[in-house]
């Protein structure tokens, strides 16, 4: 059995100041396989960006276990952390221009993170990546001459330039309108699949959710639910299969929408069948189909 590319268990991160401690992550669990695309969703303050910064090697976790491509994020020293950021991950920050060097041309920006190889090889790789992302004609421009959608594509090209095992993207469509977001997601998905690169992306955009393999919901610094998109064979459209996290104590946190729809409160009825468990309002009997 192959090891997951990303494996976090009981991940904790605490921000400390002279007067205050803020617990941003409190026991988060996460597994991502090689080549898998995962979206992270959750309200502001739920710990999404903190998780991305830890996985990017920006800072170490306070407690818990976290490995990416065999690198233990809890034990790396400064030199190992720099090497990890150069060789293992690519990071697209939320604001596209923060990823770019404004004094360099588009193609020079893509070449900056590239590792090894001569000048001509780096140039070929950079041009090929720009072509894949629809920027072949803008290679000699300055980033200030690009549209917002083009700048976001360039930021993605820069993050992929070092051929990372894992791409991290914080709200990659936040600055784009619906049409540009859709075309970027189509191209990004295709490029990631072609490269075999895994991706973890923070999002509030339902368009992005439908381009990934899984959507993981974070609440209060923990993973709470997970869902996968599928199409009904009856032709009724797309629905989400919801996977609820089961913690070590056997506790489930049911999605709020399901709780409200079924009117669940205080106590629920749990009915064990041959290979499944049904959860229903306490007053409903298992043999009552209505």
Residue 105 has pLDDT above 50, yes or no: yes
User: In which domain, by residue range, is 223 found?
Assistant: 1-73+166-176+192-251
- Whether residue 238 contacts residue 85, with contact meaning beta carbons closer than 8 Å, is answered with no
CATH number where 65 lies: 3.40.50.300
Token duo for residue 35: 């080549």
Task: State how far the alpha carbon of 169 is from the alpha carbons of 56, 65, 94, 164, 246, in Å.
Answer: 10, 22, 7, 13, 27
User: Tokens representing 267?
Assistant: 């106590």
pLDDT value at residue 203: 85
Same-domain pairing of 105 and 150? yes
Task: Tell me the H-state helices in the chain.
Answer: 48-55, 78-87, 106-111, 119-132, 148-160, 178-195, 206-209, 256-262
Lowest-confidence segment of 88-97, 160-169, 201-210, 259-268 by average pLDDT: 259-268
pLDDT at 232 over 60: no
Q: What is the pTM of this model?
A: 0.79
pLDDT at 256 over 70: no
Same domain, 196 and 133: no
Q: Is residue 10 part of a domain?
A: yes
CB 40 within 8 A of CB 214: no
pLDDT in tens, 191-220: 999 999 999 999 887 778 788 999 998 988
């Amino acid at each position: 059995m192959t090891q997951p590319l990303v494996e976090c268990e009981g991940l904790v991160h605490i921000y400390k100041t002279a007067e205050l401690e803020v617990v941003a992550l409190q026991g988060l669990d996460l597994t991502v396989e090689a080549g898998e695309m995962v979206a992270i969703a959750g309200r502001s303050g739920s710990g999404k960006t903190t998780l991305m910064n830890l996985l990017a090697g920006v800072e170490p976790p306070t407690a818990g276990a976290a490995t990416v491509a065999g690198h233990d994020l809890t034990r790396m020293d400064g030199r190992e952390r720099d090497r990890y950021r150069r060789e293992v991950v690519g990071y697209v920050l939320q604001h596209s221009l923060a990823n770019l060097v404004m004094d360099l041309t588009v193609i020079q920006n893509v070449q900056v993170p590239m590792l090894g190889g001569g000048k001509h090889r780096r140039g070929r790789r950079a041009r090929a990546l720009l072509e894949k992302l629809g920027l072949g004609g803008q290679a000699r421009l300055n980033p200030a001459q690009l549209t917002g959608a083009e700048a976001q594509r360039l930021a993605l090209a820069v993050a992929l330039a070092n051929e990372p095992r894992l791409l991290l993207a914080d709200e990659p469509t936040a600055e784009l309108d619906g049409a540009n977001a859709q075309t970027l997601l189509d191209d990004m998905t295709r490029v990631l699949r072609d490269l075999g690169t895994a991706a973890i992306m923070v999002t509030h955009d339902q368009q992005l959710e439908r381009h990934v393999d899984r959507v993981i919901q974070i609440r209060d610094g923990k993973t709470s639910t997970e869902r996968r998109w599928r199409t009904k064979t009856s032709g009724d459209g797309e629905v989400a299969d919801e996977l609820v996290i089961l913690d070590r104590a056997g506790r489930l946190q049911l999605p709020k929408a399901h709780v409200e729809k079924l009117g669940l409160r205080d106590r629920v009825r749990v009915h064990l069948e041959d290979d499944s468990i049904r959860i229903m309002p306490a007053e409903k009997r298992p043999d009552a189909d209505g």
